[in-house]
Chain A
Amino acid sequence: MDQEHKVKIDDACRAAEEFTNLYYENLDRRRHLMSKFYLDTGVMVWNGNGVNGKDMIHKLFMELPASESNLLSVDSHPILGKTNCIYVTGNDFRFLQLIPVHLDAAVGNQRTVLIQAAGFVTFQGKAGVPFQQNFMVTAEGDKWKIVSDCFRFQEVVQMPAESKAKF
């Protein structure tokens, strides 16, 4: 592992711990601030219900019953910018070219981190349940902002008979 990788991995670890601390504290105590964690174009998928954009995400959080989360596990990786290797075809021969590619339109070339969190959460009116949540966060100034967020209870989802899983 080279030095550059080490720095990025270390950065991702630090980001994950700081970010998740803040995130779950706000989820339980300061709901009205939750949408600040998201990019304006952020996506949140809550138990299969997808919500786009800060305003809708704010609405979703404000409607959720009071919660008490207990974080038990956090892991994270940096998502590295890549160089892609493409073949360029000339008339009679082809040669290899390395081109740097943007990580993604949504995050540009900002530092970007993938976080996986797991724990136990109790929502008022519902028995406590394990949950898992994944975030892709990207650096915006000195803050980490969520590009996409996927939350699921560890539960059995009852599916109507006609919409059996495709996968």
Chain B
Amino acid sequence: MQVEIVDGWRYGKDYSLRLIFSAIAPLEILPIMYQQDGINAVFFVNDCGKAIKKLCSMNLKIFNPTGRKLVLQIELRYPMANDICVRGLIGKTVMSNMYDHTEKILHLSKFHKNPELDKWMYCPLTLKKVVDEVIAVTCNTLASLRVIILSHNGLTNLSGFSYLAQNAPNLRVLDLQNNSIPEMSSLDSLTGLQLHELILDGNPLCESFENDLTYINEVRNIFPAIIKLDGVPVPPPGLPVSKGNYVCDLEGEVFAEKFITYYFKYYDGWNGQSTRFNLLGSYHKEAFFSLSAESFAAPSPQYSGRLNKYLFESRNLLKMSDYLKSNKSLHLGRDDVVKALSRLPLTEHDRESMHVDLTHYSSTLVIMTVRGIFRELDVMEPCLRSFNRVFAFSRNNNNYSIVNDMLFISNVTKEQAESLIARFPPVTSKPSRDELLRQAQNDKNFEIKQNMVEELSRATEMNLKWSRKCLIETEWDFQEALIIFMGLYKEGSIPPEAFKL
């Protein structure tokens, strides 16, 4: 039987055939040898009397939501190459091109776009007929099948694949990426599969979940053995999904952001040994600092350099026979603290994987944990470390000073190393001596000026902005700035906004 779509070139193959499919659903046709014939499109169909009858009952006109109705003409004709065996072609293509015998993977991504099939017929996996054929031909391999890739097939449900649920006991990975699955219940027909990995990304159903946890739970209801979802390991039931930064207070978030930027600017880099002294002002005069280091079992073999550099300083109380000994590795007072910091290896912290948990933020006390990965700069091999650092700040309005700083260092896990090594650019070689000196000078001036601004602000109670203004006008002469301030203050000519915080 030959079907002709009047003006078919206008709509394109996919669009016009899908319109016909939806018009005759649940009946199906399998279009063969689709081709352009002038401005019309022509294809053949076999064994589909009911579908043709239904088309006739619609007067061969099909509703088209985006334009004019689709008009068909049907003639009793046979294709020239009438020896094509449709069944044979699908079966042959699947087994020879789409099944990986060694890895037991069935690659059915963009199924009907397979060039072999596309040349002769239009056979999307949305047709039950087609799915049935695929299942029939792979029947003997299903028992050992491990992976099915079904991405980009426009699937709206998986009822056609329900045979798998009972007959593919070793199927562990199912890729359904970029289909049109509307809701989780569309997967019910697959209940029974012992899937470990599922990819649902790019389906409308993903939009309907408020949070990861309900999404994971619904998937788990159908596939209880799931381990990885959309490429991300899912926690076992009861374990909450790990999240990024935790911030207990929005005002605190602003502070945390500023602090982290400021702190690691001076802590990191080739000049660390001197720039870390700039952090003096961030510490309280009675600040405590200590570090502890411990390596774990099962580290990444490649980046697991030994922690010797830290161990001699390590204040792990579990390894101390006597607490008095622990005092040696506890630094008290900011001078002692920054001295200790400047002796630690030069570092570069990865800001992208860094997590900040602000767990306490009151008017007098702030507790913040920073966690992440850094690398050591002055070593030949790439040397990654995992760290967890907790800071306690005493707070008085907008003045914060670190009162406690505890740093824990361990080797990175294999997973951490792999996540980072791909995007961490290689260590640039150590800058020249002149360059370093220049940088140090700039940083030093910056720090001195910042200290002067803060000092003037403290003495006059003007805010930082106005204190800076005043110092710029006197070309950073502190005495001069104070004298001018006193003069203006007596006159009462300093605007009130200068004292606003």
Q: Which of B16-24, B133-141, B155-163, B315-323 contacts A (4 or more CB under 8 A)?
A: B315-323
Number of A-B residue pairs, CB cutoff 8 Å, is 224
Within 8 A of A (CB), among B315-364: 315-318, 323, 326-327, 330, 332, 351-357, 359-360, 362-364
B235 touches A74 (CB 8 A): no
Q: Taking the complex as formed, is A3 at the interface, i.e. its CB lies under 8 A from any CB of chain B?
A: no
B386 touches A114 (CB 8 A): no
Q: Taking the complex as formed, is B302 at the interface, i.e. its CB lies under 8 A from any CB of chain A?
A: no
Q: For A124, what are the chain B residues with a Cβ–Cβ distance below 8 Å? A: 236
Q: For B214, what are the chain A residues with a Cβ–Cβ distance below 8 Å? A: none
Inter-chain CA distance A160–B298, complex, in Å, is 28
Within 8 A of B (CB), among A5-61: 5-6, 9-10, 13-14, 16-17, 43, 45-50, 60
A79 touches B332 (CB 8 A): no
Q: Which of B58-66, B110-118, B410-418, B432-440 contacts A (4 or more CB under 8 A)?
A: B410-418
A165 touches B326 (CB 8 A): no
B238 touches A65 (CB 8 A): yes
Instruction: Give the Cβ gap from B237 to chain A, nearest Cβ, in Å.
Output: 7
Q: Taking the complex as formed, is A150 at the interface, i.e. its CB lies under 8 A from any CB of chain B?
A: yes
Within 8 A of A (CB), among B277-298: 284, 286, 288, 290-294, 296-298
Q: For B327, what are the chain A residues with a Cβ–Cβ distance below 8 Å? A: 1, 6, 9
Q: Which of B84-92, B189-197, B400-408 contacts A (4 or more CB under 8 A)?
A: B400-408
B292 touches A75 (CB 8 A): yes
Q: For B330, what are the chain A residues with a Cβ–Cβ distance below 8 Å? A: 9, 77
Q: Taking the complex as formed, is B494 at the interface, i.e. its CB lies under 8 A from any CB of chain A?
A: no
Q: For A1, what are the chain B residues with a Cβ–Cβ distance below 8 Å? A: 327, 332
Q: For B360, what are the chain A residues with a Cβ–Cβ distance below 8 Å? A: 43, 104, 106, 136, 147-148
Q: Taking the complex as formed, is B445 at the interface, i.e. its CB lies under 8 A from any CB of chain A?
A: no
A72 touches B406 (CB 8 A): no
Inter-chain CA distance A103–B318, complex, in Å, is 28
Q: For A65, what are the chain B residues with a Cβ–Cβ distance below 8 Å? A: 236-239
Q: Taking the complex as formed, is B95 at the interface, i.e. its CB lies under 8 A from any CB of chain A?
A: no
Q: Taking the complex as formed, is A97 at the interface, i.e. its CB lies under 8 A from any CB of chain B?
A: no
Inter-chain CA distance A132–B363, complex, in Å, is 27
Q: With contacts A73-B408, A165-B351 known, is A101 near B396, CB below 8 A?
A: yes
Within 8 A of B (CB), among A108-147: 114, 116, 118, 120, 123-126, 128-130, 132, 134, 136, 147
Inter-chain CA distance A125–B323, complex, in Å, is 38
Inter-chain CA distance A87–B457, complex, in Å, is 11
Return the chain B residue nearest A133 by Cβ.
Answer: B388
Q: Taking the complex as formed, is B7 at the interface, i.e. its CB lies under 8 A from any CB of chain A?
A: no
Q: For B365, what are the chain A residues with a Cβ–Cβ distance below 8 Å? A: 79, 103-104, 106-107
B357 touches A150 (CB 8 A): yes
Contact for A77 among B235, B288, B316, B408, CB less than 8 A: B288
B359 touches A48 (CB 8 A): no
Inter-chain CA distance A167–B254, complex, in Å, is 10
A–B Cβ pairs within 8 angstroms, 30 of them? A13-B323, A14-B323, A43-B360, A49-B241, A49-B242, A72-B296, A73-B293, A75-B317, A79-B403, A79-B404, A82-B284, A84-B394, A84-B396, A87-B459, A102-B364, A104-B362, A105-B363, A114-B392, A114-B404, A116-B408, A118-B410, A124-B236, A132-B388, A134-B388, A136-B360, A136-B367, A152-B369, A154-B296, A155-B413, A156-B415
- B interface, CB within 8 angstroms of A: 231-232, 235-246, 248, 253, 256-257, 260-261, 284, 286, 288, 290-294, 296-298, 315-318, 323, 326-327, 330, 332, 351-357, 359-360, 362-365, 367, 369-371, 386, 388, 390, 392, 394, 396, 403-404, 406, 408, 410, 413, 415-416, 419, 458-459, 461, 490
A75-B317, A116-B408 given; 13 more Cβ-contact pairs under 8 Å: A43-B248, A45-B359, A50-B359, A102-B364, A105-B362, A132-B371, A132-B388, A134-B369, A136-B367, A136-B392, A149-B359, A158-B232, A167-B256
